Structure 1
Amino acid sequence: MTTTTDSPPRPATRTRLDLAAPLAAAWLGGWGVLALLSTLTGAGYPFGANDPHGADVSLLRLLPVDVGAPLFAGVLLLAAVAALAMSGPVTVRRPGLPRALLLGYGWTVAFALTVVVPDARVLIVLGYLPILLIGAPFDWPPVDYGQIFDWPLAARCAALVGGVLLAGALLLWQRRTAGACPACGRDDHERGWTTPAAAARWGRWAAYTAAVIPFAYAVTRFAWAAGIPLGISRDFLAEMRETGLVWAGAGLGGFATVGAILTLGLVRPWGERFPRWMPRLAGRRVPIKLAVVPATLVALSVTAATLGLMSNAEFWHLTGGFSLASAPMLLWPLWGGALGAATLAYHLRRRGACTRCGRPVPRP
């Protein structure tokens, strides 16, 4: 394997990437203090039995309320200290037990905050958000928005933000301590799977997989809206039509269909340049973050939703166990992983030479 002509490393300058660690420390520390206050006052803990909306779809329902607040306080405050330590200068660049322990703890906390805590409610709100925003001026759907956008939902979103910030801090520190560029992660040993050509190959399979699964989910919801009991009993379908749930399902199906189409943009030309029918944008390059950020958010939300739903007995009861109704959701773990992989491939394929270290794009 060879690379393009070498470029001398550029002087190290501070960029927005260097803000990940201090921001993570401040965010996690602030929420850790709130969890500590909740421990001392006995009020404000938003999960488990204290959350009537998400108690059945969250793994945190298994955690007693009187244990949850002090556990969150300890975990978040310790993670804040770890993030603060990672914000300092790196003087030693060799693996060791302290580095392994810090990375192991940090990535475990980041996983818990981004995948375990948010649960299915974040994905549900994301799915209904277009309907809620469009229908709000017309008082439809007839729901209490104060019960939807409440403190438990805010806490879940805060956990997701904190987890992403911590993951960014960990990634940068891990690169620094390995002698790689903090910005792009490249070092003197290029890896074949990160080249644009390789990423285009395996990213295509990941993108198609991530597009098929939500579309299969949408087909079942559209069938119910059309009066076809696909994977469910006719009595259950009649009950959903009476309560209006079938139309809510159709709305989620529409959201899933749009998501499936946008996922294909990760491997199609119109995902790199805006199509001709878009005024003022036609032909312009699509900003990489415009695709990567929302795709990453959906990948995390889908994975988080899977953990809670798969462990919920009510979910299996409503869908009648394994059926055409539950099968698409059983594939959600694959959906989240495939979408994350497709997003990474899109980033690897479109990134150029690093503006920080000067290393060129690796070529096969």
Structure 2
Amino acid sequence: MSSSSLNPSAPGASRPAPTTEGTSAAPSEGRAGWTGHAAVLWAAAYGVLALVWTLTGTGFPFGVNDPGAQITLLRGLTPEVGAPVFAAVLLATAVATLAMAGRHAVRLRGTPRALLLTFGYTVAALLLVVVPTENVLALTAYAPMLILGAPFGWPRGIDYSRVLTWSLANQLWCMVGGFLIAFAVLAWQRRSRGACARCGRERDISAAHRARTVRWARRAAAVAVVIPLLYSVSRYAWLAGIPLGISDQMLHDLRESGGVWAGAGLATVAVIGAVLTLGLVQRWGEVFPRWMIGLAGRRVPIRLAVVPAAYAAPIVISGGLGIITSPQIWHMMGYSKVLVLTHALWPLWGVALAVATYGYHLRRLPACATCGRRG
């Protein structure tokens, strides 16, 4: 293999010419334009719905109107305040994303650009982290059991109409909007600084930058593995009849109600998540291991690892913040504050998972099909 094939900047190396705005940027605009216009439609439609909540006084699904959410960052939010605020913010977001979408997006520099970026990312963060309650995290963790057990009537006594509520549906819909807005803002940020809207690279990524990112990703992955394991230990102890961090009476009540099995199920999901997080920094996270019949030796699709982690990170952060800010959780009878602290680490868990996922993405990022940049 020649040196020119390894080094894209070497004489004779072949690579696509970087696109420039107004020339061959069409492939780059395809994906960026799709997410941008989807974000506009989402924000406009949901903003109009929030306006209907405001005018009719009914339908607002968050805050005090969500009795199923015991731990939420929007506790105490009334429809009289929440509905018009949602309507105003979402309709303003529709205008902002429209200004950033497609080839005719506004071109800003300096403070106006920074303000528009800040607004867009803030709205995305609110939709991804503040709006979801612990019920989104619980539904995600219980989903495998609910899906596999539904045909057999297990778990018994589950009323799916009470699980999939109007409020929960809106929380999931807000997460969809949060991701769309984040992608739309990111694409505009890239284009406005002259980078490729598809991959975000302005130049080939240096080996030094890649090495630094990988080091930080490994440290973050270690944090994202340890924290869920700390949570799991107590739940498995309860299943074994050991009142680790709780009173004997609380353990008795959990065993009588079957709560220890629910806790063990959540602990198992957390352990599986910790193992999968290791794949973000291990070789088997890039190539399917030999024991996976039919897939052994094949490359793991990047999105197969990145998409679930990108979904999990914000709901873990949201769940942790909800616990930290909940007054009653710190005064729960028979529940050790040490266990509360293991939940309070969840925001760190979510951030660490996001960093580890970014490192995995950057490490495996191929040459861009649009601009040809590598690294």
Give the TM-score band, short-chain normalised: over 0.9
Matched position secondary structure for 1:15: helix
Name 1:29's counterpart in structure 2. Answer: 44
CA drift at 1:36: 0.8
Maintained 8 Å contact 2:321/2:344: no
Give 1:1-364 correspondences, 5 Å limit.
4-6=7-9, 7=15, 8-10=17-19, 11-12=24-25, 13=27, 14-54=29-69, 56-89=70-103, 95-141=109-155, 142-188=157-203, 194-195=209-210, 197-318=211-332, 323-361=337-375
Matched position secondary structure for 2:339: coil
Distance in 2 (alpha carbons) for counterparts of 1:193 and 1:118:
38
Distance in 1 (alpha carbons) for counterparts of 2:326 and 2:335:
11
Letter in 2 for 1:178: R
Maintained 8 Å contact 2:288/2:299: yes
Distance in 1 (alpha carbons) for counterparts of 2:248 and 2:206:
54
Maintained 8 Å contact 1:90/1:177: no
Maintained 8 Å contact 1:33/1:77: yes
CA drift at 1:62: 2.9
Distance in 2 (alpha carbons) for counterparts of 1:44 and 1:189:
50
Letter in 1 for 2:45: G
Matched position secondary structure for 1:44: coil
Q: Percentage identity across aligned positions?
A: 52
CA drift at 1:18: 2.5
Maintained 8 Å contact 2:246/2:335: no
Query: What is the Cα-based RMSD across aligned positions, in Å?
Result: 1.9
From the superposition, tell whether residues 335 and 193 of structure 1 become closer, same or farther in structure 2 (CA, over 3 Å): farther
Distance in 2 (alpha carbons) for counterparts of 1:52 and 1:88:
41
Distance in 2 (alpha carbons) for counterparts of 1:319 and 1:348:
46
Matched position secondary structure for 2:75: helix
Letter in 1 for 2:31: R
| Residues 294-303 or 9-18, more deviating | 9-18
Maintained 8 Å contact 2:313/2:353: yes
CA drift at 1:273: 0.9
Maintained 8 Å contact 1:230/1:324: no
From the superposition, tell whether residues 269 and 314 of structure 1 become closer, same or farther in structure 2 (CA, over 3 Å): same
Matched position secondary structure for 1:59: coil
Q: Following superposition, which runs of at least 4 residues in structure 1 exceed 3 angstroms of deviation? A: 90-94, 188-194, 319-324
Letter in 1 for 2:200: G
Matched position secondary structure for 1:236: helix
Maintained 8 Å contact 1:93/1:179: no
Distance in 1 (alpha carbons) for counterparts of 2:151 and 2:374:
51
Matched position secondary structure for 1:250: helix
From the superposition, tell whether residues 300 and 138 of structure 1 become closer, same or farther in structure 2 (CA, over 3 Å): same
Maintained 8 Å contact 2:53/2:83: yes
The structure whose RCO (Cα within 8 Å, separation 6+) is larger is 1
Letter in 2 for 1:238: H
How does the TM-score come out when normalised to structure 1? 0.93
CA drift at 1:260: 0.5
Unaligned runs of at least 5 residues, structure 1: none
Maintained 8 Å contact 2:330/2:337: no
Distance in 2 (alpha carbons) for counterparts of 1:278 and 1:160:
33
1:237-262 CA-to-partner distances (Å, cap 9, x unmatched) read: 11111111111101100100111111
Maintained 8 Å contact 1:128/1:251: yes
Distance in 2 (alpha carbons) for counterparts of 1:109 and 1:192:
34
Letter in 1 for 2:144: P
Unaligned runs of at least 5 residues, structure 2: 1-5, 10-14
How does the TM-score come out when normalised to structure 2? 0.90
Distance in 1 (alpha carbons) for counterparts of 2:204 and 2:364:
20
1:28-82 CA-to-partner distances (Å, cap 9, x unmatched) read: 111111111111111111111111101x311212322211111101111110111
CA drift at 1:177: 0.8
